[in-house]
Structure 1
């Protein structure tokens, strides 16, 4: 058995022992949403416009127990969803989860990411959350995924960050050192790890970090094992992250939490320093932000394969001619106080609320200009609704 095969076998053994994530199975669609898994929302975030079709193919690469798969299926009912995983135990839970909640548009395959060539065709959306950093060769993994992404397609990726997981890595190494050759006994490893945490002084940095950030989820053994006993983990910094991205041959479309990556969040009170920072190339700006705020435990971002449109909607004429519709990811609608796509509270003005109601009733495909004849909203406010991801826009003639 090669080293890579041994790593894959150890990872599969972990997730057969502790299928992950250990979320409960429901007899109905999951509550809420994750907009990154909703094709219309994700495409609009990445390109500025609504996609031409919702009849797409989606790949959930490393689906685990199917929490993301279930969302992908229910949030994209017109899509064909294909889910793969290395762990037979986790995959069995994923199949049961989707069957119970009525997610009927999913096919499951017991495969590694490296074996994707066995699945014919390409995909319009590839979701790969919490997988690449557990592969023995992440670059080979992302290149394999990229080969299955269709032209005009999007890839959503989540990988670990080194700076925000420093204490986790220390505890991982401590448990492994104490377990020695028995480190593949994950049940014993969980028990040992809990004993160590209970023994550490309350002022201990590793214990304090666990209590501040992870202890609630780590009450579940599957979460504790995934965090502290994993046999294979690669953590990234901005510099090594973009080495991985560059190896894919795909276009970086942006982080899906853009507010974190704003310079003024950290340097807004130091204008001279911010001016210097703004002269840096984008990647160096990202590096500066994570150096100044080293709480980055993961990176979540989109890649894409050209050709992809780019609609900043800077032209008034283009915006007036576009067809608007309400964003699909809102919680609390219809109300003037609601949660937006990113679960942030939004308070709509009377005019904004009226415009969104008009968008809901817009079955005839009226343009922004036509809707503004009946709603007292300025064009600048329409543009604000679009930048807040509260409406989707289809360009004229699309």
Structure 2
């Protein structure tokens, strides 16, 4: 177990969202196992893959993941007992039960044993001494066809934070109270003040500690990240950060151009698969069903549109009355062959957004 990381998160529970913080179920659509597995395999997961692992779950992610996947086995793994206590309490207060909370290290083969259809490791591997070893440990836990979501810090997105971390080390400032004092005294318009004013993390102590005092962080240029992924047996499937282009190769080229021009890049979010079969899309022998996480949204008869936050890097279709009425048809699976050309064309944006799921 990485003792230095464990001590950090025992002291600084992260993220420190209020226990009353809730999210609508339909905002969890990008965490739904059925939708993700079918997107890249053209089939719903079998019993061997109907398990989810949150690898480095922190204090919050078990709650939205359980909202998105009622009845699915979820393992929440984290180094920190404090993070797990907070995550368990948050779930309890919002009526989410049946989650297996485990304290442990993703590098430990005894922890979170078995195979999983979806593993979420958001903002974790860039804190490991050997990130490649961490990704390979997760790869070994993926069922055939399983999906892994990784988020890592990009060099461009973390430029400001890393320069502040360097300055704090040189000044030998290593506690949150001292940093908060610097923030209060920072002149308006200074680089430091501009950064903290724009950062949601700087609004709370655990966020300040995570951004500026974390014992180990690593940032990646896009070619470095893709080289890391290339040293595994996993297949890159789709980037999901803000502004991402759907084809992986095109998004890598776009990010490379941004880096070459010295422009800011988002932190990288990438879905990877273990031996993915490939999605079936709206093939003539496929069926379409509504993403289970959206059932409450489309079942709502009110006229006001439902706002669904983009989670795949691009804008979502609106969900007004007409859209909800159309999607309501797919609460039970509908054969593609039964749709006329106009209906099929209308369904395509919802398939792209993961609102509809295509499978055989």
TM range (shorter): 0.7 to 0.9
Cα RMSD of the aligned pairs, angstroms, is 3.1
Show CA shifts across 1:303-345 (max 9, x none).
11004223244xxxx34x4322223344853458333462756
Give the structure-2-normalised TM-score: 0.85
**Structure 1 unpaired stretches of 5+:** 184-188, 264-277
Give the structure-1-normalised TM-score: 0.78
SS of 1:60 mapped into structure 2: strand
Tell me how far 1:261 sits from its aligned partner: 3.5
Aligned to 2:346: 381
SS of 1:96 mapped into structure 2: helix
- Superposed, 1:67-216 pairs within 5 Å as 67-179=60-172, 183=174, 189-211=175-197, 213-214=198-199, 216=200
Q: How many residues align?
A: 351
Q: Is the 8 A contact 1:161 1:235 kept in 2?
A: yes
Distance 1:102 1:248 in 2: 38
Match status 1:295 vs 2:260: no
Aligned to 1:260: 244
Tell me how far 1:232 sits from its aligned partner: 0.4
Q: Is the 8 A contact 2:241 2:267 kept in 1?
A: no
Show CA shifts across 1:92-135 (max 9, x none).
22222233333222112211111133443111111111111111
Distance 1:110 1:133 in 2: 19
Q: Hey, which of these two has a bigger chunk of helix by percent? A: 1
Q: Is the 8 A contact 2:32 2:68 kept in 1?
A: yes
Q: Is the 8 A contact 1:37 1:72 kept in 2?
A: yes
Tell me how far 1:225 sits from its aligned partner: 0.8
Counterpart of 2:16 (choices 1, 15, 22) is 22
Counterpart of 1:230 (choices 214, 236, 255) is 214
Aligned to 1:358: 329
Distance 1:170 1:351 in 2: 49
SS of 2:96 mapped into structure 1: coil
Which structure has more relative contact order (CA 8 Å, sep 6+)? It is: 2
Distance 2:66 2:324 in 1: 30
Counterpart of 2:252 (choices 278, 283, 290) is 283
- Superposed, 1:44-55 pairs within 5 Å as 44-47=38-41, 49=42, 51-53=44-46
**Structure 2 unpaired stretches of 5+:** none
Tell me how far 1:379 sits from its aligned partner: 3.2
Match status 1:38 vs 2:61: no
Which of 191-200 and 346-355 deviates more?
A: 346-355
- Highest Rg: 1 or 2? 1
Aligned to 2:203: 219
Tell me how far 1:154 sits from its aligned partner: 0.5
Distance 1:40 1:72 in 2: 12
Show CA shifts across 1:55-80 (max 9, x none).
71111111121x11122223212211
Aligned to 1:246: 230
Q: Structure 1 residues 305, 10: CA separation in 2 closer, same or farther (over 3 Å shift)? A: same
Q: Structure 1 residues 151, 329: CA separation in 2 closer, same or farther (over 3 Å shift)? A: same
Tell me how far 1:89 sits from its aligned partner: 1.7
Distance 1:298 1:135 in 2: 17
Q: Structure 1 residues 366, 298: CA separation in 2 closer, same or farther (over 3 Å shift)? A: closer
Tell me how far 1:11 sits from its aligned partner: 1.8
Q: Structure 1 residues 292, 36: CA separation in 2 closer, same or farther (over 3 Å shift)? A: farther
Match status 1:326 vs 2:290: yes
Tell me how far 1:34 sits from its aligned partner: 3.0
